[in-house]
Amino acid sequence: MNNLLKLPPLSLYIHYPWCLKKCPYCDFNSHEGDIHTGYINLLLADLDNDLKYVQNREIRSIFIGGGTPSLMSVSDASELFDGLKKRLSLAKNIEITLEANPGTFEVEKFAQFREAGINRLSIGVQSFNNDQLKFLGRIHNGEEATRAIYEAKKVGFDNINIDLMYGLKSQTIELCMEDLMNAINLSPSHISFYQLTLEPNTLFSKFPPKLPLEEKIWEMGEKGAALLIENGFRQYEVSAYGERSSLHNINYWEFGDYIGIGAGAHGKITDMNSKSIFRTLKPKSPNDYLIKFQSNALDSNIKKIDNVAFEFMLNSLRLKDGFSSQLFESRTGQAIDNLKPKLEKAINLGLLINNDNWIKPSEKGFNFLNDLQEIFL
């Protein structure tokens, strides 16, 4: 690392690991069962240990993921945000996202969540089709999903993301477009439109469902992207479309820093004293997380990022509009010229465009992103 390295913006990720029912496709750190009382105290103690990573920065975004963090009680949410405000400097235009399920129990708390400080909801609809929701193991129906969006708007949320999957069992292109139009017609500010993948260590991986043919799934993705763009949703990342981008997502993809607190939470930190970049990981199991806290051993597993240039490219090449060479240098501490042979290879293959030190995937590169990213290994 050299003097090119600069301290990037800082976000905060908070993990809430519990859910009512584990979905068969989910590979996230989520657990069915009783919620630990005192978890908010654990989170704040966890943050206290990580305050050294702040390095005089304000927090530009907070994302509370899970699990199903909308299961959190309103009093817990208030306690959490009171604790955050005492410990951190929050940006004036901070984006604070809560992942939420469209179930009635959570929807009834939307107004109070907003009063607690949350200003963006990411609602895990996944589909408005009841047959598909049953296949996905979801516990809401299409009508409840629609109601959740209306209720969120009714109580003042104007920044709402809808998660929507495609490539589902028995799904035709027509059914996929119908699902997508249902989301578009609700006028959210953001839609995450992504393919169902069979991840390791999931029920779907153990008992793979019969999904549409690959070429049909590809067509769903292509036609879905076109439909979103036609309706005013700008694609700024592989699966992200919106009239406004998510600040938290952008910080991830631009290789910014984020502190991760909670069971299984990941973080990424730039340390200006050692001129190093590393990732942090907290104990995955909620029980292990609690035991570590009780024994005063709650600390991060820290792993230095060795191939920083590749990690940057792995993230930032997901951005439709690309990035500047200056951003690469300030986030990695490496000169862009170090990548010259690999950049030239990607350009010669028609996968990358370098226009006056602005680097972005070509249309071909965006469609074959894995091939493009592998060049920088």
Instruction: Output the domain CATH number for residue 358.
Output: 1.10.10
How many structural domains does the chain have? 2
- In this prediction, residue 354 carries a pLDDT of 95
Please identify, among 252, 281, 299, the residue that sits at the C-terminal boundary of a domain.
Answer: 252
Mean pLDDT over 202-230 rounds to 90
Please give the share of the chain, as a percent, with pLDDT higher than 70: 94
**Helices 173-184 + 214-230 axis angle, to 10:** 30
Query: Edge-to-edge strand order for the sheet containing 352-355?
Result: 323-324, 358-361, 352-355
Verify that 217 and 348 share a domain, yes or no.
no
Look at residue 31 in the predicted model and tell me its pLDDT.
Answer: 62
Give yes or no for residue 29 having a pLDDT over 70.
Answer: no
Determine the average pLDDT of the residues in 25-45.
Answer: 76
Predicted confidence (pLDDT) per residue in 99-131, tens digit: 998 976 678 899 999 999 999 999 999 999 999
pLDDT at 1 over 70: no
Amino acid letter, 115: E
Q: Classify residue 291: in a domain, yes or no.
A: no
Same domain assignment for residues 57 and 201: yes
* pLDDT confidence band for 298 (50 / 70 / 90): low
Q: 345 and 242, same structural domain? A: no
Backbone φ and ψ of 301, nearest 5°: -80, 115
Mean of pLDDT over the chain? 92
Is the model more confident about 90 or about 17? 90
Distance of alpha carbon 262 from alpha carbon 189, whole angstroms: 28
Task: Kindly indicate the confidence band of residue 36, based on its pLDDT and cuts at 50, 70 and 90.
Answer: low
Residues contacting 309, CB < 8 A, separation 6+ = 328, 332, 334, 338, 339, 376
| 292 belongs to a structural domain | no
Continuous H helices in the chain: 39-50, 74-87, 104-107, 110-116, 130-135, 142-154, 173-184, 203-206, 214-230, 247-253, 286-294, 308-316, 325-332, 340-348, 363-367, 369-374
Give residue-wise pLDDT tens across range 152-186: 999 999 999 999 999 999 999 999 999 999 999 99
15, 131: one domain: yes
Q: Do residues 111 and 245 share a domain? A: yes
pLDDT of amino acid 34? 61
Q: Which domain holds residue 323?
A: 308-374
Percent of the chain with pLDDT over 90: 77
Each residue of 189-212: pLDDT tens digit?
999 999 998 777 777 777 888 899
> pLDDT tens across 318-372, in order?
999 999 999 999 999 999 999 999 999 999 999 999 999 999 999 999 999 999 9
3-state secondary structure of 201: coil
Residue 376 · residue 313 · CB < 8 Å: yes
Q: Are residues 225 and 343 in the same domain?
A: no
At residue 120, the pLDDT reads: 98
Contact yes or no for 372/361 (Cβ under 8 A): yes
pLDDT at 33 over 70: no
Residue 132 to residue 142: CA distance in whole angstroms: 10
